[in-house]
A and B are shown apart, each in its own frame.
Chain A
């Protein structure tokens, strides 16, 4: 009824077409510290995103309320914001796709698992970390979180869509100390099937990686064959994909401009976006109400498509790829569920040919160290020195620098350890011909 009221108010205000999305979400977060729950958080929210076309221009407004007063404010804001805009609306709102691939991914089991069982798992995780080795001095940020959201989408052209999802994650860190050295390592487990979580397995992984960091050294600066851990490659790939967004290309601020159907990576690189996979990132419609689809973005190094919403697609004379996403008060473009084709070899075989090189397991500062326009980056890194095809000793306080386009072209291969992370990227470890390492 409230939705009908919104459409009526919008129509009365002269807003030719209008759309409203209501996102209801709730989350719970529990953190342990030395055996006790030291932080328990509950978050309940409702976000209302409304937009419309007024006087041939697009306007939008956001609120956390859905009462009559809020509906009036939303309508007034859409009208005022559209009036000020100097950009004509090119596409109007969307009447609907012929077919939507709707799946139920909501886990009732996750919701129904008592919170006491979740806290018990968290306590096992903390105990397993602290008891793993005498050099593990503490467990940090031992946290369980779960989140649930329901999205309702309506527009004045008669389109009605909704979807619901939930997921959980456990995250923890180990603090390891030996002599004067203090080292930390954090990792996570996420998904929708809480029964699949093994606290001792995650604790072992975290502790082994923290303990392996002792007796590090800083190598000489230079260019080395470089293996990027899958999480590091995913972080870099995120910026590469940002450059496939058509809006960036059309504004001449993407290093992939003019490279459609050209080689933008080595033949080992194939990137797909799969929003319809049955994962916590599943989404069957985008923020314009367009049906999403699985698609190949780069195949064997060749760029097959940019990512579009309806407006940028019209500009290029192509169909939208169903990637519309709200961004700062306008409908921009986004992506999730990114899959990179993995290799067939093991990690050991991937590094076997490297006489002297580096294996980068963690990076920091990429957010400010990346020039997303040029693809040039430089950031803090750590990992391991590779010698004669094997992991030799830990490396720390080094920098990793390169150019994204060159990096993708220099990919020599992936191993077979692909895994979907909470970043929504599923990829394996990657060997790069060479990257610049800053050290001594």
Chain B
């Protein structure tokens, strides 16, 4: 990391040609990844990332440069080359940098970086053993534990005020992939719970045996599953990871990256009905210890709980500094980036549909024929058209209000506008699921969440012919 005096020089160099905002983002990350193949340690990976990104804004124009060389000469040269993109006179000179007091919202008892690798290996072996014991048709089990320990230093300069924000991001994630094989029939299942937190989460809250056993049971179940039928059906989406529906169908289209340029299907939707009146949705980066949480965003601003949709009415966007300038809105603590090589932009953190009144059992009971999606692999969206897709990793046919046979190879597609309006039941069992979201500023950890919901009708793809 760098001194305040060097930061001052670099910021002023960056602002020499008329930039009205400059930022230096420095990071040093020491991730540790341990991977076991069939219960034996195969790879221990300890890459070290260290570098800086410099951004200058002039109105809504942006220049960004990154380097892994943190020497004074190189940082000043990078700032100088970036500033050369503008041709104006200096507008701002920074003479002092104030310190931003950053409050830690995710307490940690035992730092993952302090836990001996051998102890983590022993813990991972429990996951392998639990999955292996499920069925002899399990042929491959890959278990891993990844922990990141990222120290971040952000300097910003705007309105002649310099600010320094320091933060530490510590996350850990357990991942298990189980492959089951029966003759030529091969299926796999994945689970990946994670937290912004310490070793205590993994040893006290997460039941590794249970998570691993469930993953193996899912892979075995898929061996006997029929191909999913295709057509337009009523679909009940289970809680937790089911929230990827909202993430793809709506969340990305509410990011200022898209709305700020008028290129989102929801660009002009503030105050308008965009979802069923029973839908209320938030993005909240402040939930203690959650996977998508953080103390501050990538521009040094405190994270917030942002209400996006209230009773079906669009009431807010996710706004970063640049997007805010385009939208004439205040940034709301959602600027994120994978690492220093990416310029930050508006991104989701922990995004969820708020709980409703129905019990999940009643929602299934009240569905005569349809599909129940218990778990997802992920999805994607084109924010301009709002067309999205997501893939189910565990699904069942609902017959006469009960879960019947499992199905595989199930994809749900639609347009965000249509699907959000088609939600006719919202359960009371809100849960969160962990994933990584890829977009313009790279891959960032996000929670997706929702209670059990029902969509009256949506297009389902699969190879199983008609639903009968």
Q: Which of B60, B230, B384 is within 8 Å of A438, CB to CB?
A: B230
B68 within 8 A of A: yes
The CA of A274 and the CA of B49, in the complex, are separated in Å by 33
A43 within 8 A of B: yes
Residues from 349 to 372 in A contacting B, C-beta threshold 8 Å? 364-365, 367-369, 371
The CA of A41 and the CA of B261, in the complex, are separated in Å by 19
Interface string of B437-468 (1 = CB under 8 A from A): 00000000000000000000001111101100
Query: Which residues of B sit under 8 angstroms from A402, Cβ to Cβ?
Result: 463
- Whether A175 touches B263, Cβ cut-off 8 Å, given contacts A63-B47, A221-B466, is yes
B112 within 8 A of A: no
Q: Which of A40, A373, A396, A438 is within 8 Å of B462, CB to CB?
A: A438
Q: Are A40 and B390 in contact (CB under 8 A)?
A: no
Q: Are B389 and A369 in contact (CB under 8 A)?
A: yes
- Whether A438 touches B187, Cβ cut-off 8 Å, given contacts A43-B341, A63-B47, is no
Q: Nearest CB to that of A41 among chain B residues?
A: B64
Query: Which residues of B sit under 8 angstroms from A364, Cβ to Cβ?
Result: 380, 382, 387, 389
8 closest residue pairs by CB, A with B: A399-B461, A329-B45, A438-B230, A438-B461, A380-B389, A62-B47, A365-B389, A368-B378
Taking A329-B43, A365-B378 as given, write out 19 further A-B residue pairs in contact, using a Cβ cutoff of 8 Å, ordered by the A residue number: A39-B343, A41-B66, A41-B343, A42-B65, A43-B67, A45-B341, A81-B44, A138-B263, A182-B384, A328-B43, A329-B46, A365-B379, A367-B378, A369-B391, A373-B179, A380-B387, A380-B413, A397-B387, A397-B414
A251 within 8 A of B: yes
Q: Nearest CB to that of B36 among chain A residues?
A: A86
B181 within 8 A of A: yes
A179 within 8 A of B: no
Q: Nearest CB to that of B50 among chain A residues?
A: A64
A87 within 8 A of B: yes
The CA of A221 and the CA of B265, in the complex, are separated in Å by 27
Interface string of B213-242 (1 = CB under 8 A from A): 000000000000001101110000000000
Query: Which residues of A sit under 8 angstroms from B46, Cβ to Cβ?
Result: 61-62, 77, 80-81, 329
Q: Are B380 and A365 in contact (CB under 8 A)?
A: yes
The CA of A39 and the CA of B179, in the complex, are separated in Å by 44
Q: Nearest CB to that of A57 among chain B residues?
A: B41
Q: Are A85 and B179 in contact (CB under 8 A)?
A: no
Would you give the shortest CB distance from B127 to chain A, in whole angstroms? 16
Q: Are A42 and B82 in contact (CB under 8 A)?
A: yes
Q: Are A40 and B463 in contact (CB under 8 A)?
A: no
Q: Are A40 and B63 in contact (CB under 8 A)?
A: yes
Q: Nearest CB to that of B65 among chain A residues?
A: A42
Would you give the shortest CB distance from A239 to chain B, in whole angstroms? 13
Query: Which residue, B48, B67, B378, B411, has most C-beta atoms of chain A within 10 A?
Result: B411
Query: Which residues of A sit under 8 angstroms from B179, Cβ to Cβ?
Result: 252-253, 373
A103 within 8 A of B: no
Q: Are B463 and A436 in contact (CB under 8 A)?
A: yes
Supply 19 A–B pairs (Cβ within 8 Å), ascending by A: A44-B67, A44-B69, A45-B51, A63-B48, A84-B34, A184-B385, A364-B380, A365-B391, A378-B391, A378-B409, A379-B411, A380-B387, A397-B387, A398-B461, A399-B389, A401-B462, A401-B463, A402-B463, A438-B461
A65 within 8 A of B: yes
The CA of A61 and the CA of B48, in the complex, are separated in Å by 8
A46 within 8 A of B: yes
A12 within 8 A of B: no
Interface string of A14-41 (1 = CB under 8 A from B): 0000000000000000000100111111
Interface string of A384-408 (1 = CB under 8 A from B): 0000000000001111111100000
Q: Are B261 and A33 in contact (CB under 8 A)?
A: yes
A183 within 8 A of B: yes
Query: Which residues of A sit under 8 angstroms from B118, Cβ to Cβ?
Result: 84
The CA of A270 and the CA of B42, in the complex, are separated in Å by 35
B140 within 8 A of A: yes
- Whether A436 touches B390, Cβ cut-off 8 Å, given contacts A252-B140, A255-B184, is no
B408 within 8 A of A: yes
Interface string of B88-120 (1 = CB under 8 A from A): 000000000000000000000000000001100
Residues from 404 to 419 in A contacting B, C-beta threshold 8 Å? none
Q: Nearest CB to that of A402 among chain B residues?
A: B463
The CA of A60 and the CA of B408, in the complex, are separated in Å by 38
Would you give the shortest CB distance from B412 to chain A, in whole angstroms? 9
Q: Nearest CB to that of B60 among chain A residues?
A: A38
Interface string of B259-272 (1 = CB under 8 A from A): 00111010000000
A301 within 8 A of B: no
A305 within 8 A of B: no
